[in-house]
């Protein structure tokens, strides 16, 4: 019986370690973690869009959209990060809204 005692002790110890590990996993699994929201907004600053008659309305909508997110209105998520950039420059090296195919 003495030969079985180390095996029984190792089995019990392994069982306790496994039970503790599983208990630790279930604690973390119950926590609901929300991913961080990040907004990337590109504003078309090309001359054709500025002079189309829709530019002012589009910027007003964008301002309300950003404000709503920042103040969590209507169930919108507050972004962890917000990036706003213009797209549609006049020079060759500036990003354009449409690339010729």
Q: What is the pTM of this model?
A: 0.56
What pLDDT digit, counting tens, does each position of 19-75 carry?
666 666 655 555 677 788 899 988 887 777 788 888 899 999 999 999 999 999 999
The 3 state secondary structure assigned to 39-83 is EEEEEECCHHHHCCCCHHHHHHHHHHHHHHHHCCHHHCCCCCEEE
Return the pLDDT at 67.
96
Secondary structure of residue 87 in the 3-state scheme: strand
Could you give the angle at the alpha carbon of 77 between the alpha carbons of 86 and 82, nearest 5°? 25
- How many Å apart are CA 96 and CA 81, to the nearest integer? 24
Q: How far apart are the first and last CA of the chain?
A: 82
What pLDDT digit, counting tens, does each position of 78-87 carry?
999 999 887 7
């Amino acid at each position: 019986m003495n030969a079985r005692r180390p095996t029984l002790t190792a089995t019990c110890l392994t069982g306790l370690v496994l039970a503790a590990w599983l208990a630790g996993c279930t604690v973390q699994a119950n926590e609901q973690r929300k991913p961080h929201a990040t907004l990337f907004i590109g504003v078309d600053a090309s001359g054709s869009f500025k002079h189309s008659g829709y530019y002012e309305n589009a910027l007003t909508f964008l301002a309300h959209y950003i404000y709503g997110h920042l103040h969590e209105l209507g169930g919108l998520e507050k972004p962890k990060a917000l990036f706003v950039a213009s797209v549609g420059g006049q020079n060759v090296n500036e990003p354009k809204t449409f690339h010729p195919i």
